[in-house]
Structure 1
Amino acid sequence: MTATKMIVLGYSTLILLGGCLLMLPHATRDGQGASLKDAMFTSASVTCVTGMTLHDTYHYWSLFGQLIQLVLIELGGLGFMSVMIFLLSFTKRKIGVKQRFVMQEAYSAPQVGGIVRMTQYIFFSSLAIELVGAAMLCLYFCPRLGALRGIFFSVFHSVSAFCNAGIDLMGYFSPGSSLMDVASDPFLNGVFMVLIIVGGLGFFVWFDVIEHRHHFAKYRLHTKLVLVTSGVLILLGAVQIFLLEHGGEAMAGCSTGEEWLRSLFQSVTCRTAGFFTMDLSAMTEATQFVCICLMLVGGSSGSTAGGLKTTTLALLFLSITVVFRKRKTVECFHRRIEEEAIHNACCVLMLYLLLLIVSSVSICAIESIGLLDSLFECAAALGTAGLTLGLTARLSALSQVILMFLMFVGRVGGLSVLLALGTTSGNVASQYPLEKVTVG
């Protein structure tokens, strides 16, 4: 079994196991357990760190059910296989080459050498970041909820934000509100945004930045592309949302400073996080389309986020510039990019667009809803963003199954799914005759 097949099988098993646990009577507050459909959808959503929910997490799920979801978020964000091998690394068992290749595929690591030590570093670093985030959130939750409940809320939201899951317990204050009740709090919004951005940049980007600090020229090309593309997307998204929603219904009663804060948070959270501080259904159609584009791109390779990935977008943009500059190779930051990476980027883009179009049209026909509403839901699932216009819980079982499949592809990765389903034919020495085709 190849590494990609093991990853696909592992995530599938984790979703099934999580769904079975959520069907237990103790998982819900009414003591009856969730239905098969609700349990599997919720398990897929939290394992794929998407954040789409059918019920208010605080009021519907018991403490046991919330703890199950917290564990699934952590396993889905950090990678179940990586966590298992991390635990095995403390035993006397030898970790074979196949397991190391699986870890390399899961983290999009540049090489297999030192991957076990790197996994330990990633695991401890992630826990440290989540603990720091939880400590910061305790300053807000503990005075309002008491020590024990405040600590649990802080840990839950820190893990959910860092893993870009978007699952929240803010229904305690107002059901289904996410962070809308605290949209004007710059401290809380800032902590959430930092956790989301750090989790979405990718594990190997951190190490590169920590190692070389402010020496940008020494960063690997991957790190440079991730940082530049992420920064541009966040800033452009915030400016567009502000200009489109300034003085509108979604910003009703907000000062200019609060509008900028909400716009920035919405731009960040569209990058696969799933929290929101604005009424998404009250936004203009233009803003909703901007959010669809941001959600579809998602985070970065080797991170807790899903989606098309920032590096894929960067490579596609660079390949377009090659045509205008009449160059034969794609170049960036005085480095030449291999053709295989460009081919993979084009393949992923076409796969995501095909999935988005087919699934959106299907749900639009099944549910008799607007195409833009259907596009929004499907983009949120495929980009593992988890944002919704309030339609998810009202969709039929067939439409929810489509969203589950999109969430799975978005988290595992479109290229990984293709490689897992495909077969390798090996290298072929002979080649067919070359013939030109007119394009454009």
Structure 2
Amino acid sequence: MDQKQLLQSRLTSTQILVLGFAVTILIGACLLSLPVATESGQGLPFIDALFTATSAVCVTGLVVVDTATTFNTFGEVVILLLIQVGGLGFMTFGTFFAYLVGKKIGFRERLVLRETFNQFNMQGVVNLVLKVLKITFIIEGIGFVLLSVRFVPEFGLEKGLYFSLFHSISSFNSAGFDLFGEKEAFSSITHYVEDPWINLVVSSLVILGGIGFVVILELLHYRKTKRISLHSKIVLTMTGILIVMGMLVILVVEWANPKTLGGLSFQGKIMASFFHSVTPRSGGYNTLSLGDMYSATLFFTVLLMFVGASPSSTGGGIKTTTLATILLSVWSMIRGRDDVIAYKRRIPHGLVYKALTVTVAATTLVILDTMLLTITEQTDLLTAGFETVSAFGTVGLTMGLTPTLSVPGKVIVLLTMFAGRLGPLTIAFAIAHSQKQPPYRYPEDRPLIG
């Protein structure tokens, strides 16, 4: 056994997944720090390059330097590639290239793919990867064509097509990176706050990227199978509830705010509310100024960002199915039932424990990092909490703190993005040594609860 085989034999699938993302980030940081990647030709400080690469691979969109004015075409293409690799997972592309050259996909590779797409078993996982790539390129291609309808007349053929490609990939992968910024005298896509075409295309790409590939495949095959799994039912239900609830809250709270919805037409208010209900689900774009929103809206946005997208998607957060499982378990407890039921199906207790563990781990991480940011950046709790949850949910929305982060603050936020993209449990499993169940059980006792 050579050194490479020995190394592989000692690494679990979760460790390979974590190390793979880390190596991808480091490669991206090295490329972005090169003088050839920046407009000035002077290179970028490594900490800023590392932050940008982490944000791209973790499909977050938080930036410490303006993407449009800092990077040239080479740097922007590197970011775009990092977004695509980060959104789908490095093993997805590795499997695709191995498939093209006829190389057999081994057991270990299938294990990593199972972790990447959060599957319960390895059966059909390679076929799933090929379908995911096909779906991704089709949806991004459609987004590219639809966005070019607006961008080509506005920016010209070459620049319009380039902008359409970049923002289609960024939107579907829930990255939130944009090429407008200071170069076009407006940030994110605030210029299109009342443009129904841009609002609907971008939000549709974000929603499709956020519901997950498993759900998309089931919807595509529904006419043939006439079957929707419990997972897809929960994802679609929670996605709809969160979008409608978020839209109504934002619409009601911000209706008369002269700096956000107050100055818009009725149609503009509806579109902006809908868009800002969708984008905290890992989208990262904004058409309204976050700094001018009321505190109630910002706090509710934090809650939406914490939930994030759905499993096997390009987004972060604790995921919609996790929230649904916890809410259903609480409802079962209130009704005095032992089983957690959804759509006449019983959810195993093991999954309920996992959902609770994910939520507690995520909450602990967010609280700790928020406290650290209030110390390192000397900022208020809401601003620090907003930035932390945005990083954990791989959303990319900011109240303006990210561009002014100190070096310790940048390290805290980039580590939070990394944990949010992979999931706190995945990182914990990668660090901890797997232990077998002991061959005995301790006697039961009952502490008082509540």
Which one of 178, 192, 203 corresponds to residue 182 of structure 1? 192
Distance 1:208 1:92 in 2: 28
Distance 1:214 1:184 in 2: 39
Aligned residue number for residue 384 of structure 1? 394
Alignment of 1:244 onto 2:289: no
Distance 1:73 1:88 in 2: 21
Aligned residue number for residue 55 of structure 1? 65
Query: Where does 1:288-307 land on structure 2 (aligned, <5 Å)?
Result: 288-307=298-317
Distance 1:175 1:409 in 2: 33
Distance 2:41 2:316 in 1: 34
Which one of 138, 142, 147 corresponds to residue 137 of structure 1? 147
Give the deviation of 1:322 after TM superposition.
Answer: 1.0
Aligned residue number for residue 196 of structure 1? 206
Distance 1:39 1:428 in 2: 46
Aligned residue number for residue 413 of structure 1? 423
1:312-342 C-alpha deviation (Å, 9 max, x unpaired): 0000101101111111111111111111111
Aligned residue number for residue 79 of structure 1? 89
Q: Which runs of 4+ in 1 moved over 6 A?
A: none
1:191-214 C-alpha deviation (Å, 9 max, x unpaired): 001000000000010111111159
Distance 1:214 1:93 in 2: 32
CA contact (8 A) 1:56 1:175 kept: no
Aligned residue number for residue 205 of structure 1? 215
Q: Share of identical aligned residues, percent?
A: 37
Structure 2 counterpart SS, 1:89:
helix
CA contact (8 A) 2:83 2:175 kept: yes
Q: TM-score, normalised by structure 2?
A: 0.96
Give the deviation of 1:148 after TM superposition.
Answer: 1.4
CA contact (8 A) 1:322 1:329 kept: yes
Q: TM-score, normalised by structure 1?
A: 0.98
Aligned length: 439
Structure 2 counterpart SS, 1:336:
strand
Distance 1:62 1:298 in 2: 31
Alignment of 1:221 onto 2:230: yes
Amino acid at match of 1:287: T
Distance 2:186 2:280 in 1: 18
Give the deviation of 1:265 after TM superposition.
Answer: 0.2
Alignment of 1:115 onto 2:125: yes
Give the deviation of 1:111 after TM superposition.
Answer: 2.6
Aligned residue number for residue 294 of structure 2? 284
Give the deviation of 1:259 after TM superposition.
Answer: 1.1
Distance 1:109 1:211 in 2: 19
Which one of 364, 371, 375 corresponds to residue 354 of structure 1? 364
Distance 2:225 2:208 in 1: 19
Query: Where does 1:263-282 land on structure 2 (aligned, <5 Å)?
Result: 263-282=273-292
Give the deviation of 1:171 after TM superposition.
Answer: 2.3
Distance 2:255 2:224 in 1: 35
Sort the Cα spacing of 1:347 and 1:7 in 2 relative to 1 into closer, same or farther, 3 A: same
Distance 1:147 1:214 in 2: 41
Stretch deviating more after TM superposition (357-366 or 9-18): 357-366
Which one of 234, 237, 241 corresponds to residue 232 of structure 1? 241
Structure 1 gaps, min length 5: none
Aligned residue number for residue 8 of structure 2? none
> What is the alpha-carbon root mean square deviation over aligned residues?
1.3
Structure 2 counterpart SS, 1:251:
coil
Query: Where does 1:252-267 land on structure 2 (aligned, <5 Å)?
Result: 252-267=262-277
Aligned residue number for residue 157 of structure 1? 167
Distance 1:55 1:13 in 2: 22
CA contact (8 A) 2:212 2:311 kept: yes
Amino acid at match of 1:95: I
Distance 2:262 2:131 in 1: 45
Query: Where does 1:14-29 land on structure 2 (aligned, <5 Å)?
Result: 14-29=24-39
CA contact (8 A) 1:7 1:106 kept: yes
1:16-70 C-alpha deviation (Å, 9 max, x unpaired): 1100000111100000111111100000001100000112211111000000000
Distance 1:367 1:188 in 2: 35
Structure 2 gaps, min length 5: 1-10
CA contact (8 A) 1:109 1:204 kept: no
Amino acid at match of 1:101: L
Distance 1:174 1:54 in 2: 18
Structure 1 counterpart SS, 2:288:
coil
Aligned residue number for residue 7 of structure 2? none
